[in-house]
A and B are shown apart, each in its own frame.
Chain A
Amino acid sequence: MAKSPMAPPSSFLWSRRVFLTLLTGFVLIPVYVMVSSSLKPLADVTGEFRWLPSGLTIRPYIDIWSTVPLAKYFVNSLIVSVAATVCSVVVAVFAAYAVSRYTFRGKRVFTVTVLSTQMFPGILFLLPLFLLYVNIGNATGIALFGSRGGLILTYLTFSLPFSIWMLIGYFDSVPRDLDEAALVDGCGPLGALFRVVVPAAIPGIVAVAVYAFMTAWGEVLFASVMTNDTTRTLAVGLQGYSTLNDVYWNQIMAASLVVSVPVVAGFLLLQRYLVAGLTAGAVK
């Protein structure tokens, strides 16, 4: 997208080159450390730092699975994050459709309340939520505390406010004539939502799903309090590589890389949608 018909001045080009080079270094050095250290023998990461490994080994990638039950944590994280994402997107689609397409009493109160939960410090409702889950468990027998279900419930509400907000903007940009045509053709309002509005808003929905998945996959605070040995997720499990005597930095880096690959790959594949979704929705 050319900004102006004339070529940018050389001051712009030079400063851009310098700035972007420095920024690339800043961004990439930790990534390089992660990748290179994950291929180093243990001696390389316990002694003085080396830019280049003394020898390459894939040993850390084999050992990470036995030092801690990484596979179990991985599966837990996957179940929790996928379930939280799916539920969050469905709930957000319904809510955003209501706000975008209808006028009703309490609409403003709803949007303001939902958005303002974004400013709640997690620490404020961590303990009450913990107690609430325990009490619900005692009263009804539904195990929320320590279970994946409790974590899914918690995480899906974390991404909900932002998702609703972004989808409202996105649905607003889908022409109303489209769903009105569907209504005239005999679709119910939900038919119009799923046959017309949702397909037209796919980039926004993908963006919201990516955001919800990343939120659930990366959360540490609630995972550290609300999980037990069988439901532990990666966020907590990764701390198991440091023992009193040794810190297996090469294994930590290998494990970090392994748990990052799914999200980073997914994110980079779908980032176009995220930008498109933000452009049409939230930022408008």
Chain B
Amino acid sequence: MTTTAPAEAAVQQSSPGTAEKAPRRRPGRIRRIGLPYLLLLPALLLELLVHLVPMVIGIVMSFKELTQFYIRDWGTAPWSGFDNYKVSVDFDAPVGEALLHSFFVTVAFTLLSVGLCWLIGTTAAIYMQDTFRGRGLLRALFLVPYALPVYAAVITWVFMFQHDNGLVNHVLHDQLHLTDKPSFWLIGDNSFYALLTVSVWKGWPFAFLIVMAGLQNIPGELYEAAALDGAGMWQQIRRITLPSLRPVNQVLVLVLFLWTFNDFNTPYVLFGKAAPEAADLISVHIYQASFVTWNFGTGSAMSVLLLLFLLVVTGVYLALTSRGRRAADG
């Protein structure tokens, strides 16, 4: 607070004098040039401390042979050039092969999860656009999975997926007789579907929320005009609602993608420290590579590769969707 006081005082002094000559919109603009930077300073310092500096340290670490012997004083760890990267991308050796497998699992999981979250969220938001009895209650209910703390929600799913005393096997095996014997959901191949179910259950309300907000910005005249032209409900949704949501979707899909791809909390609570191979998401994989084997150099190299991949995907995505948008506008 005290640091901004001089700037404020300067503006108050200068305002009356300059207001007559300078355009009224920005009184005393020149004198205030430092103020925006002061306002940004706390945010900048925090981002530097918690995100940017650690990221640089992480990149430096990825070029070091950083095992538990050096962890107390990581600066003294010997440089290892690109060794950590070579190990990570040597897909014929176990470490690289496991990383590649984990990467493909994560891509498949993310595409399915984001797709389903978007589909369910958008459908629900469109169905609930006009008022009907119980709409407010339903909307609140639908937001519960999103509002629940991750660990509380996921631990409930862990209980439901238990082999002997879980709800899922009770329904599928004991009540519906769909399976010959109770299945394992948290180990083996089924774990992929378990993870997907939990992820969609937790993730779709966010899409719902955003699309719901986006729908409110579509001007009502568009629908009225379409109705006058004889367009039915379904046609209105296809011709007006969905195209109008395009800018919202551009951001929504990207955010969902990044969150899902980087998600650590859900698999960590669902499977514990050792994720089954079929659901070995990349965040947990790297966590294990770092903290369970105490090989922080390789873990850092993997994290940097992950970041590069996300940067490229985000860049390409934004370039493609922005061009599409411009073409649609023009």
Contacts and interface: CB of A to CB of B under 8 A. Distances in A.
Contacts of B165: 45-49, 249
A170 B286 CA distance: 38
Interface in A160-201: 160, 164, 176, 180, 183-184, 186, 188-191
Chain B contact-residue range equals 35 or more
A4 B141 contact: no
Contacts of A75: none
A224 B36 CA distance: 37
Given A4-B223, A188-B12, A23 B124 contact: yes
Contacts of A267: 143, 146-147
Contacts, number: 311
A70 interface: no
B308 to A, nearest CB: 11
B4 A160 contact: no
Contacts of A123: 262, 264, 283, 286-287, 290, 299, 303, 306
Contact of A279 (B8, B164, B174, B217): B217
Interface in B132-173: 138-153, 155-157, 159-160, 164-167, 169-170
A188 B156 contact: no
A22 to B, nearest CB: 10
B167 A29 contact: yes
Given A19-B124, A92-B43, A264-B144, A284 B268 contact: no
Contact of A132 (B36, B53, B169, B216): B53
A127 B47 CA distance: 16
B236 A4 contact: yes
Interface residues of A, number: 105
Contacts of B213: 275, 278-279, 282-283
Interface in A214-255: 214, 217-221, 224-225, 234-235, 238, 249, 252-253
A131 B152 contact: no
A12 B233 contact: yes
B144 A31 contact: yes
A114 interface: yes
A132 B54 contact: yes
Given A120-B55, A157-B46, A188 B283 contact: no
Contact of B155 (A45, A256, A268): A256
Contacts of B9: 188
Interface in B247-287: 248, 251, 255, 258, 261-262, 264-265, 268-269, 282-283, 286-287
Given A33-B159, A183-B27, A275-B209, A49 B166 contact: yes
Interface string A106-141: 010010011011111111111111011000000000
Contacts of B291: 225
B37 A128 contact: no
Nearest to B16: A186
Contact of A48 (B50, B53, B164, B212): B164
8 contacts: A8-B233, A12-B233, A113-B52, A121-B307, A153-B49, A225-B291, A234-B151, A283-B251
Counting from the closest, the 10 A-B pairs by CB-CB distance are A128-B54, A278-B213, A125-B54, A124-B303, A128-B57, A98-B39, A267-B147, A256-B152, A49-B170, A188-B8
